[in-house]
Structure 1
């Protein structure tokens, strides 16, 4: 059985490594810790380098009319010169507004939502439109539950658009509106150095029988990411400790991938090392936001001790019935769905031909913000989700 105390302790250890942007110090520290934990169990480790663009910033802010606001550089960063980019602000709500961004710094107001990626969001077409209109730069205000800066997954090999691009804080909208209304030039600074770092993918093996069980989870992410990455990491480690005892005749393949927020680059780098689909009894992928506390939004809201149901369990057809039984009683996960394209790494895995594969993921209230901290989840919400993963793995292999 699983150790709930250790599961929770691992989530807290994970939080202690801080910001986990791909290729950064927190990402590397987390990778070293995970490698150490897997080695203790007896797995043989291999490290797959995953080159990633990193950004060493000097100044990231918008300045104008005696005020300034923080902005967050969107990866892959297209930096400004040290003296910034100067222009008037143009507020853009929709594609029909894009032309007004010509010669200006576009401020793109995204509709309210739980935003997580550029390419699956309405922001992609808006960015392409303001770029075509010859905007000087763009700032995205991703309106959502927190009002804070929201990191957005993007491409690994190039900026999403060839102009300086930043994420602003929607709660700062009054300041943006005042600057835009004044019609005076403002200055955007995204100055710093784009460098090449490494967000390695860890591969762990325990070779025994002819049949394989595969376990995977991504590692890198935005800010502390206690719900987004911590819940899956803690679950991954706990199941990794349980597997050798539960399946002594099976070989085990584990993958802890880097560069998740860069279009899953770490998974792509190591996927061909996995055992063949016809030798794999089940692939269990631990996605984002497995469990988090729900919140109300009335007059500032309050945190509840029940699960946020904005999550999904995706399965291949062969596991649908078993998954429904394993995740019964867990809101959002108890009605398994087909595998969604690019909702995490699972669709890439399934395309390789794995017939028994599943992944749970959620987009929690604070996803991709600085507020994604251990207080957003509890042991009582996380433990039953990891136990459901254990049950489904067991049924997938033993068929009972």
Structure 2
């Protein structure tokens, strides 16, 4: 499906204006109260535009670094004590990642942990992996079923890829069949070995000539020419220490494959609005905010925070995780995708049993999030799964997969301050209910 033209990226003038509007501590307390932080759509839109303006958010890359520094400045200005938790991440900075066969050529997304080919590429017959048989020396074309794809840890993606490489393929190309026709980048685990041979991802909208070539075994060349290695990344940790016995933790990821305007930006806008609210409120707990990098590597930054920096479970009053696709746009699918003013309901909210009845009223009427599920290992998604496994007994966690998730097209057309506003207000109400209402028997 073809997508309508996207709005242009914000100008430098727009970003400067947005920066001036974002200062968390700029307004007097009375003015901040009147503005109802978290319900101001214009302020939230400015946050989205500023985040989008930093470009790609690959872990440890320029956009990830710059957006983290910006958030650090915002929180310091609001009175939070900030520190950085450093760790290392893999990286792949592409020069050219392409598939060529006959007169057709397409740009691909490289598997960040796979080997590169250099400028010469790897050549061989292009073959359909689903056709069976020996793939020795071939470039295997692996067409995945229709899905809103997230990760290569998913067996539906991992197993056909591994099978093609076991059958001798010299390289593999995945076609991530999904809701938009765009190539969908897939998260990878740094704790598992990468593929032994080059792997890349092809957009379904570009696949037709290569499927035809693969059906006949015609020659093709896959090129993965890139700089690879490891580089530093960091989590931002911001704290208001009020000498309380317990701490409220609010986490959100910062990094992602591309611009991540809706995937990451909408959650960050909620997270920053909560920081703004808590800077002027006293819910009787310390406040710790964490904004993690390393998300594409199966939540690597979140793992580091849990292992080395998070408050102990017994010292944590509530953990709130604001995850992916918090407030992304929905789309009509008649002939081509057409934007709607409403939010994509493919988002999930979970809460632990002790607080679920207090969380549900706060999210009533927020599509997708109003059906609050009990947070368990089976229902929780993203980083919240690790939080529960680490023993945090009282928690709220949100995640989602919008249509343009993990694609280069996840830009400002995929979200807005108006879409974020009700979610931010609901999170604030839910947190307030969990911290102020008496526990129920």
Same fold, judged at TM 0.5 (above)? yes
Q: Deviations over 1:325-368 (max 9, x none)?
A: 11111111111113355721001011121121111121111111
Whether contact under 8 Å (1:56, 1:195) holds in the other structure is: no
Whether contact under 8 Å (2:141, 2:214) holds in the other structure is: no
1:175 is matched with which residue: 188, 193, 209? 209
Q: How does 1:187-206 map to 2 (within 5 A)?
A: 187-206=221-240
Residue 53 of structure 1 aligns to a residue whose secondary structure is strand
Tell me what 1:390 maps to.
428
Tell me what 1:215 maps to.
250
2:362 counterpart of 1:296: no
Tell me what 2:293 maps to.
258
Tell me what 1:337 maps to.
373
Residue 354 of structure 2 aligns to a residue whose secondary structure is helix
Tell me what 1:287 maps to.
323
2:189 counterpart of 1:155: yes
Q: What root-mean-square deviation, in Å, do the aligned CA atoms of Structure 1 and Structure 2 show?
A: 1.7
Q: Deviations over 1:188-219 (max 9, x none)?
A: 11022212112211111221122211111001
Q: How does 1:68-87 map to 2 (within 5 A)?
A: 68-87=105-124
Tell me what 1:88 maps to.
125
2:312 counterpart of 1:276: yes
Q: How many angstroms apart in 1 are the aligned matches of 2:279 and 2:198?
A: 49
Whether contact under 8 Å (2:283, 2:436) holds in the other structure is: no
Unpaired runs of 5+ in structure 1? none
Whether contact under 8 Å (1:115, 1:121) holds in the other structure is: no
Tell me what 1:108 maps to.
142
Residue 172 of structure 2 aligns to a residue whose secondary structure is strand
2:272 counterpart of 1:237: yes
Q: How many angstroms apart in 2 are the aligned matches of 1:254 and 1:301?
A: 36
Q: How many angstroms apart in 2 are the aligned matches of 1:289 and 1:14?
A: 15
- Displacement, 1:32? 0.7
Q: How many angstroms apart in 1 are the aligned matches of 2:110 and 2:81?
A: 37
Give the TM-score normalised by the residue count of structure 2: 0.86
Q: Deviations over 1:283-329 (max 9, x none)?
A: 11110001122112111132111221111001111122112111111
Tell me what 2:86 maps to.
49
- Displacement, 1:158? 5.5
- Displacement, 1:220? 0.3
Unpaired runs of 5+ in structure 2? 1-35
2:219 counterpart of 1:185: yes
Give the TM-score normalised by the residue count of structure 1: 0.95
- Displacement, 1:161? 2.1
Q: How many angstroms apart in 2 are the aligned matches of 1:100 and 1:296?
A: 42
Residue 413 of structure 2 aligns to a residue whose secondary structure is helix
Whether contact under 8 Å (1:219, 1:260) holds in the other structure is: yes
